[in-house]
Amino acid sequence: MDFNTTFDEEYLPLVRYCHRLSGDRDTAEDVAQEAMVRLFEHGVEGSSAGVRAWLFKTATHLIRDRYRVEGNRMRLLRENPVMTTDPETPDAALERTENRARARRALDAMPARDREMLLMRYSGFSYREIADTVDVAATSVGTLLARAEHRFTSVLAAAGEPA
């Protein structure tokens, strides 16, 4: 049986089954589509009953995975609640904007490698990732970052800006 025939025969029953499992029509349609995509990508063949069983089993696993992910997400939110913050005052917003502009001007005045290393480090990259990107030894990254930070503060000082 070809994919188009399988899709025509099995899609609506699969959506109904997923809807009963999940209780949500949108989730049911998403899962049914994902199961069909996997059927196509894996090139599953066999009797129509075998292909149908594969589709429904795959859909069941996809729904279980969604519930597991959602459960983990809810647990993490309970353990680490999102803290609400007060809206930023206009003065604080202006100061933040000015600080960013000052930092951008200093970064633009620096050599490209120093700029890249600083931006990567303060974006959470590891020393190994920085070393691989800028093509230096991982053992040199700490020294190079310290020098880049010194150049950054020197550029700010030369412009009469606070560090």
Residue 2: the pLDDT is: 84
Say which DSSP state 110 is in: S
Q: Tell me, yes or no, whether 151 and 116 share the same domain.
A: yes
Q: What is the DSSP string of 30-81?
A: HHHHHHHHHHHHHT--S-HHHHHHHHHHHHHHHHHHHHHHHHHHHHHHHHSP
**How far from each other are the two terminal CA atoms of the chain, in whole angstroms?**
70
Among 16, 47, 79, the domain boundary falls at 79
Q: Which residues of 48-62 are buried (b: 16+ CB within 10 A; e: fewer)?
A: eeebbebbbebbeeb
Q: Assess if residue 163 is contained within a domain.
A: no
Q: Assess if residue 146 is contained within a domain.
A: yes
Q: Assess if residue 94 is contained within a domain.
A: yes
Round to whole Å and give the CA distance between 93 and 162.
18
Among 49, 79, 109, the domain boundary falls at 79
**Which domain range does residue 32 map to?**
3-79
Kindly give, in sequence order, each residue whose CB lies less than 8 Å from that of residue 14, ignoring residues fewer than 6 positions away.
32, 35, 36, 55, 56, 59
| Alpha-carbon distance values, 40 to 4, 29, 36, 48 (Å) | 10, 16, 6, 14
Q: Assess if residue 35 is contained within a domain.
A: yes
Contacts 24+ apart (CB under 8 A), 65-73: 66/22, 66/27, 66/31
Q: Assess if residue 85 is contained within a domain.
A: no
Among 79, 103, 122, the domain boundary falls at 79
Nearest CA to 104 out of 152, 142, 149, 157 is that of 152
pTM for this prediction: 0.48
Structural domains of the chain, count: 2
Q: What is the pLDDT along the chain (163 residues), one digit of tens a residue?
A: 688 888 899 999 999 999 998 989 999 999 999 999 999 888 888 888 888 999 999 999 999 999 888 888 888 888 888 877 788 899 999 999 999 999 999 999 999 999 999 999 988 899 999 999 899 999 999 999 999 999 999 998 988 877 6
